[in-house]
Amino acid sequence: MEVTRLLARYVVSATYESLPADVVHEAKRSLLNWMGVAIGGCRHEAVEIALATVSEFSGPARASVLGRTERLDILHAALINGISSHVFDFDDTHLRTVIHPSGPVAPAVLALAETRPVSGRDLLLAFVLGVEVECRIGNSVYPSHYEQGWHITGTAGVFGAAAAAGKLLGLTEEQMVHALGIAATQAAGLREMFGTHCKPFHPGRAAQNGLLAAHLAARGFTSSTQPIEGRRGFASVMAAERNLAEITDGLGERFEIRYNTYKPFACGIVIHPAIDGCIQLRNEYGLTADQIARIDLRVNPLVLELTGKRAPRVGLEGKFSVFHSVSVAIIDGMAGEAQYSDARVADPAVVALRERVSAAPDAGVAKDECHVTVTLRDGRVLKRHVRHAVGSLERPMSDDELDAKFRGLVAPILPADQTEEVIRLCRSLERLPDSAALVKVAVPRAAKDRT
């Protein structure tokens, strides 16, 4: 079975009209969420270092760094935007494979869209196809590939970037096979790097390398024509067990982007049910911290194993504290990047409330479930049972919630009018004649242009 060729054939022949409406809608949600994390992350140390490094080598400045005024050649812009979008670990997740699908694909297509006219529809199509390719390849090797130690967002992502870029470049089927092959032979990224700058480097490099693969293939650079399924191809070499049928079954009918999810909170997913329950009670009862005598959580045991830090000292430690997370959820009504700053973790009001939070492990509670009991000083007891946390496939974030997440991430970087314009353009992307406009509003106006 010529898996790579069948996949290439589908990518080359697919049209915007063949995409179901819900797939297009999910693609716009994915893109908006991705732009939010990329813009929000654009001042992170990893981005600053990488940008300073590659600026020395950058070619013609044809593409934007989201959220910043620097411009780079399209390969390096794709790298930096890919890094930026993953620094908060707040991007989208294809739960079955734990791939972060947008990270490798979005930077590649947006960079290309700055070099030639790409309609919103063409951009959406290329993006959906890129996500489809990387997630299907991911499905075919998961979980053994991931368990072996590969950061699958990097290894599968490079195929997605190559396919999406190749689609925009108008590759033939034969060229697309080679683009996927040149991608395969660059697939890289180790889980050992988690917790370091190299983690967000992986989607960035996947975007950049996939983009290069498509350009090389467009000019006739050759690879194996069985780069995925060959005896020494990607699947055999990089996964102990694989099911190649995952790559081709139901192509054009089953869309993996339907299974994309978005994190509502800027911390590990295990705390999300507790935060969710607290925000629900806060909003329904108009709770303030001083009303609350105590908060009691019944949680999956993993919550305390991974996030049991009682007295976090800095922002990053706050992400590993269910107590801090629940406290800011009550006080701020949210748990975005801003709630995990050093200042917020040290805030006396937050500290005082978190000391009134207790959590009991219960193996009968699922990972996306939580029982919250809030006891008020006036004696009332409020209870909430969260069966599936917001952001799960069963209870996806609404469009409004995604917009709010976007605003929260982007507020420190873009003026409000630009923020709203990104949302508007992204939400109506299929009607945009030239998607470069979307990138343009994602870059701060130079100081002198500001009112």
Contacting positions for its own copies (CB under 8 A): 45-46, 49-50, 52-54, 56-60, 73-76, 148-151, 154, 181-182, 184-193, 195-198, 201-202, 205, 212, 215-216, 218-224, 226-227, 230-234, 236-237
47 or 257, CB closer to its own copies?
A: 47
58 or 307, CB closer to its own copies?
A: 58
Q: Give least dist CB 4 to its own copies, A.
A: 11
202 or 298, CB closer to its own copies?
A: 202
56 or 253, CB closer to its own copies?
A: 56
d(CA 433, CA 442): 17
d(CA 231, CA 181): 14
81 or 300, CB closer to its own copies?
A: 81
Q: Give least dist CB 392 to its own copies, A.
A: 27
Tokens of 50: 């990488």
Q: Which helix (H) or strand (E) holds 94?
A: strand 93-94
Q: Give me the residue label for tokens 């919103």.
A: 120
Q: Give least dist CB 301 to its own copies, A.
A: 23
The answer to whether 410 touches 36, Cβ cutoff 8 Å, is yes
Question: Up-side HSE of residue 157: CA atoms within 13 Å toward CB?
Answer: 35
Q: Give least dist CB 186 to its own copies, A.
A: 5
Q: Which residues, 6+ apart, have CB-to-CB distance to 349 below 8 Å? A: 289, 331
17 or 56, CB closer to its own copies?
A: 56
Q: Give least dist CB 204 to its own copies, A.
A: 11
187 or 335, CB closer to its own copies?
A: 187
The answer to whether 103 touches 134, Cβ cutoff 8 Å, is no
> Exposed, middle or buried, 200 (CB in 10 Å: 0-12/13-18/19+)?
buried
Q: Give least dist CB 229 to its own copies, A.
A: 9
Q: Backbone dihedral region of 252: left (phi > 0), alpha (psi from -120 to 50 degrees) or beta? A: left
One DSSP character per residue, 160-172 reads HHHHHHHHHHT--
Q: Give least dist CB 119 to its own copies, A.
A: 23
Helix (H/G/I), strand (E/B), else coil: 295:
strand
Q: Give me the residue label for tokens 């009001």.
A: 349
11 or 198, CB closer to its own copies?
A: 198
Q: Give least dist CB 224 to its own copies, A.
A: 5
22 or 48, CB closer to its own copies?
A: 48
73 or 276, CB closer to its own copies?
A: 73
Q: Give least dist CB 179 to its own copies, A.
A: 11
Q: Which residues, 6+ apart, have CB-to-CB distance to 385 below 8 Å? A: 277, 369, 370, 371, 372
Vertex 369 angle, CA 368 and 370, to 5°: 135
Tokens of 282: 């806060």
Tokens of 94: 């294809």
55 or 283, CB closer to its own copies?
A: 55
Q: Give me the residue label for tokens 């339907």.
A: 258
d(CA 424, CA 403): 10
> Exposure string (b/e) for 327-363, b if CB count within 10 Å is 16 or more?
bbbbbeebbbbbbbeeebbebeebeebbebbebeeee
d(CA 201, CA 31): 19
